[in-house]
Amino acid sequence: MNYSQSQGYQRRRLYRSRDGAIFGVCRGIADYSDISLFWIRFICIAIFIFSGFFPLAFIYLIAAILMKPEPVVPLATEEELEFYTSYAGSRTMAVSRLKKKFEQLERRARRIEDIVTAREFDWEQRLNRPTH
């Protein structure tokens, strides 16, 4: 069962399955197309026998290289799908996105820290404190 079926996620994607026999290409195609895994493998073996070794083996290896592996954790939002797609496509790009995000968070934390540790903050708190 594809992760999108189990989680009810709207967009179906073609991924290599992590549970496949050889690279998970056939199982990924079966999950994506809702065709029985048996028939996908049967068609691949038939093409393998009737066309010779090299054409199908070459196409299968290309598919294994080009297809992204199925996510380990089911994706729940469009933002998670976008991050996974960028990570599976280019890990350096994903790492740079994460680095940029953490730098933004660090800048925000520094601004908050500067405000809270400023001398004026203490006086403002004392002056604005309600007296009873």
Identify whether residues 56 and 69 lie together within a single domain: yes
Helix, strand, coil percentages in the chain from 3-state DSSP, rounded to 5? 70, 5, 25
Identify whether residues 101 and 128 lie together within a single domain: yes
Question: What is the full DSSP assignment across 17-68?
Answer: -TT-SSTTHHHHHHHHHT--HHHHHHHHHHHHHHH-HHHHHHHHHHHHHHSE
Identify whether residues 24 and 50 lie together within a single domain: yes
Per-residue pLDDT of the chain (132 residues; tens, 9 = 90+): 444 444 444 456 787 887 778 888 988 888 888 889 899 999 988 988 888 878 888 888 888 888 877 766 777 787 877 777 777 767 777 778 888 889 999 999 999 888 878 777 667 677 777 766
Identify whether residues 78 and 94 lie together within a single domain: no
Q: If phi over 0 gives left and psi between -120 and 50 gives alpha, with beta otherwise, what is residue 14?
A: beta
Identify whether residues 79 and 28 lie together within a single domain: yes
Identify whether residues 55 and 99 lie together within a single domain: no
Domain tally for the chain?
Answer: 2
Confidence at residue 3, expressed as pLDDT on a 0 to 100 scale: 43
Identify whether residues 51 and 114 lie together within a single domain: no
Counts for the chain of helices (H) and strands (E), in that order: 7, 2
Identify whether residues 77 and 124 lie together within a single domain: no
Identify whether residues 14 and 38 lie together within a single domain: yes
Identify whether residues 41 and 99 lie together within a single domain: no
Residue 104 sits in which domain range?
90-132
Confidence at residue 132, expressed as pLDDT on a 0 to 100 scale: 64
Question: What is the full DSSP assignment across 69-80?
Answer: EPPSSPP-SHHH
Identify whether residues 85 and 117 lie together within a single domain: no
Per the CB < 8 A criterion, the answer to whether 76 and 9 are in contact is: yes
Identify whether residues 42 and 68 lie together within a single domain: yes
